[in-house]
């Protein structure tokens, strides 16, 4: 399934290849996409793919009067994931998701990520089943042609506010195109942005002053409350530790109201 460019999935180039209650498959292109804070190749778009496909397999377990919202997202990548992806950027990353365990509080979807037939990671998405809200926004039906914006910054409607040192900040601009069906920033977009700021916070100020070669190994995100783009909406990250071989950073999404909406921890290795 191809999505219109004026939807978050279409903007990010996601395609759903297969969907059923037992198995969902989707892909995302990563060719030429770079972290706007560091200009380095990035795995951040994988968070968008995982949130979509893991959430979709959980969504199939809802009752007729229920909806699903993400509560947790976790990604674990192999040490060579970024190298494989950047070596053949024209090949999309494909995610396969299956339900794991019974439906319940925090229903769990289990995902495998592959690139060119080689596994590059695993991931999980937990979803709450809630009563279907009465304010669902219908997906737009126009703007199906063309291609997504060239840069990741434009695809996600973010803007660099602070870079360098042991912290990083991205602004989340208000843009209905990156909102989900309940009118808030799509969970995959916000998770990807948290990866961008957290990995950027680890890119400078290591023991030798360079931070070169730090690769994201794991990203864990908790969704605390609704997050909307706005004049003061932003993603912030700070490095907790940068060592010779590994680094850890915390990140959060803060809304216009000053409330923390999402939190994340990223671990990276050289």
Which DSSP string corresponds to 65-91? TEEEEEEEEEEEE-TTHHHHHHHSTTS
The three-state secondary structure class of 201 is: helix
Task: Print the SS3 string covering 167-200.
Answer: EEEEEECCCHHHECCCCCECHHHHHHHHHHHHHH
> CA 228, 234, 223, 157 torsion: positive or negative?
positive
β-pairing verdict for 234-242 and 158-162:
unpaired
Chunked into runs of 10 residues, the chain (270 residues) has average pLDDT values of: 90 96 96 93 97 96 90 97 93 97 93 97 95 70 70 96 91 95 94 97 57 84 96 97 95 96 97
3.40.50.261, 1.10.150.120, 3.30.2080.10, 2.40.160.210: CATH of 8-132+149-269: 2.40.160.210
Q: Tokens representing 100?
A: 């794991």
Residues 195, 8: Cα–Cα separation, whole Å: 17
pLDDT score, position 140: 58
Q: What is the pLDDT of residue 205?
A: 42
> pTM of the predicted model, to two decimals?
0.93
SS3 52: helix
Q: What is the reported pLDDT for 1?
A: 84
Q: Based on DSSP, count helices (H) and strands (E) in the chain, helices before strands.
A: 5, 12
Contacts of 102 (CB under 8 A, 6+ apart): none
């Amino acid at each position: 399934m191809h999505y219109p460019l004026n939807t978050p999935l279409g903007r990010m180039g996601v395609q759903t290849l297969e969907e059923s209650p037992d198995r969902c498959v989707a892909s995302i292109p990563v060719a030429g996409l770079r972290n706007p804070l560091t200009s380095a190749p990035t795995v951040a778009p994988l968070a968008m793919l995982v949130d979509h496909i893991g959430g979709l397999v959980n969504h199939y377990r809802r009752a007729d009067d229920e909806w699903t919202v993400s509560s947790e997202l976790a990604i674990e990548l192999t040490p060579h994931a970024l190298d494989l992806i950047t070596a053949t950027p024209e090949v999309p990353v494909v995610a396969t998701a299956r339900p794991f365990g019974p439906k319940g509080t925090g229903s769990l979807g289990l995902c495998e990520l592959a690139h060119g037939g080689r596994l590059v990671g695993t991931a999980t998405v937990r979803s709450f089943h809630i009563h279907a809200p009465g304010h669902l926004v219908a997906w737009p039906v126009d703007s199906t042609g063309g291609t997504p914006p060239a840069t990741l910054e434009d695809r996600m409607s973010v803007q660099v506010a602070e870079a360098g040192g042991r912290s990083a900040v991205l602004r989340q601009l208000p843009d209905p195109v990156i909102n989900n069906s309940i009118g808030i920033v799509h969970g995959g977009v916000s998770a990807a942005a948290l990866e961008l700021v957290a990995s950027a916070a680890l890119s400078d100020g290591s023991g030798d002053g360079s931070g070169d070669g730090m690769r994201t190994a794991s990203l864990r995100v908790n969704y605390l409350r609704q997050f909307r783009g706005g004049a003061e909406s932003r993603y912030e990250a700070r490095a907790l530790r940068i060592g010779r071989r590994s680094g850890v950073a915390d990140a959060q999404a803060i809304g216009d109201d000053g409330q923390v909406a999402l939190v994340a921890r990223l671990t990276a290795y050289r």
